[in-house]
A = this chain, B = another copy of it.
Amino acid sequence: PHQRSTYDFFMPQAMREDIQKKLYATQLVVPSTALPNIGEWYTLSPLDTSNKKNPTSFGYPSWLYKAYNARVAHYFALRRLEGFGLSSQLPLQKMNEWRKIRHPHIVSLHEAFTTRNFNDNSLVFVYDYYPCSKTLQEHYFPAGRYKSVVVSEDVLWSYISQITAALKMIHSHNLAARCIELSKIIVDNSRIRLAACGILDVTRFGLDNKPMQQLQQEDLFKFGSVMFALASGGTIPLPNDAAKARDLLNPKLSEKLKDTIVWLISPPRSLSEPKTLEEFASTIALQLCDYIQTAGLDNDEKGRILKMEVENGRIARLTMKLNAVLERGDLGLVKDWSEVGERYHLKLFRDYVFHRVDADGNPDLSIGHMISCLNKLDAGTEEHIQLITRDSETLIITTYREVRALLNRAFNELVKHSKNGAPGSQ
């Protein structure tokens, strides 16, 4: 067996930092007086990194904001189309289909609404928010960097597998992704997600009456164009001739990969034989197997770390409960509720866990002691503990099980007094 490193005992530093960076980005509010609140949407902050009004993707300039939804206590990404009004709900008809799609390689679309709070007609699409994501465009071709980029064979296959799985889901729901471009696919570590599904179904509604099959064919072509850009260095426009395109691909890539990209950007053999996602997927089945391996190993790694992190969760829950109860002051008709009755024991328990002193009266801040006490509290063990009143006059002997029962009673009393019931229940 291989040697065990520190990584086997703790969450790897890189993962912790990555998560913390994202938590921080989620919390961060760039104060912007220019941005309104809209109904249940608060603290909008811009996610766009450039300030340019760009109507390329949707036919209307679009802006992306992080926004807090007060009702569900969660952040979302709002895509606003500037100057787009709706005179009927008809163009939104595909929204109900899109809301059903939950896929690891598609950013979930929750709803769409119009608003005049930006002092114009705006249409807003509500997507899941992924802190710190970049678009493939930003990731591989950041503005001002013209050096051509080399994306490795493995990464390209991984992207192909992910987009194929996403399109399988979309096409089998009788939808088309429609917006597949470098600037509308977000990347986070090695994971990519289609980030702007559903919008063109609204903005192009009634303008072209292409049948769904044709839109799905176009998906395959757009998919191919994105892969062509990544596999050719991105600076070259896609030639009309697929054979010419092939010559522009990074010569180090395998023939299989080149064939795959060329297939995507080539026209169908005949109009009666349209290209389908199913046909495409069957040609890359072995690469899909490879991606299953990648995803599974990632899953195993996360599972392993979760196992190690289980302790923290219960400590957090318990200390929050304890803090909600202690030193609360009056509750309902009970004066000084936290200090009287059996809650007093909880206060002493808190002293026992957190306010320990050594023989000389100096603070003893051993985290081991705190964690071990809280774990025993969570387990409700029969072990005895001696709680001493502040005046050192009285000694109370109890068990962790009894303290746990006390804490639950006290907390439930708070819950009963609260309007919204148990925390998290709303």
Binding site for B on A (CB under 8 A): 1-6, 8-11, 15-16, 19-20, 22-24, 27-29, 69, 71-74, 76, 102-105, 110-111, 126, 161-162, 164-165, 168-169, 172, 191, 278, 281-286, 288-293, 295-300, 302-303, 305-317, 319-320, 322-324, 326-329, 331, 347, 350-351, 353-355, 358, 360, 362-368, 370, 372, 375-376, 379, 381, 383, 390, 414-415, 417-420, 422-426
Contact = CB atoms under 8 A, between A and B. Distances in A.
A299 B310 contact: no
A364 B20 contact: no
A307 B23 contact: yes
Contact of A328 (B23, B355, B417): B355
A419 B74 contact: no
Contacts of A29: 381, 383
Given A104-B296, A323-B354, A370-B423, 5 more contacts: A3-B71, A168-B289, A327-B327, A329-B355, A363-B418
Nearest to A11: B313
A23 B375 contact: yes
30 contacts: A1-B110, A8-B74, A15-B306, A24-B379, A27-B375, A29-B381, A104-B300, A165-B293, A168-B293, A169-B289, A278-B285, A278-B286, A281-B288, A281-B289, A284-B285, A291-B292, A305-B306, A306-B306, A309-B312, A312-B312, A312-B316, A315-B319, A316-B316, A320-B354, A324-B354, A324-B363, A327-B355, A328-B363, A329-B390, A365-B423
Contacts of A358: 418-419
Contacts of A312: 309, 312-313, 315-317
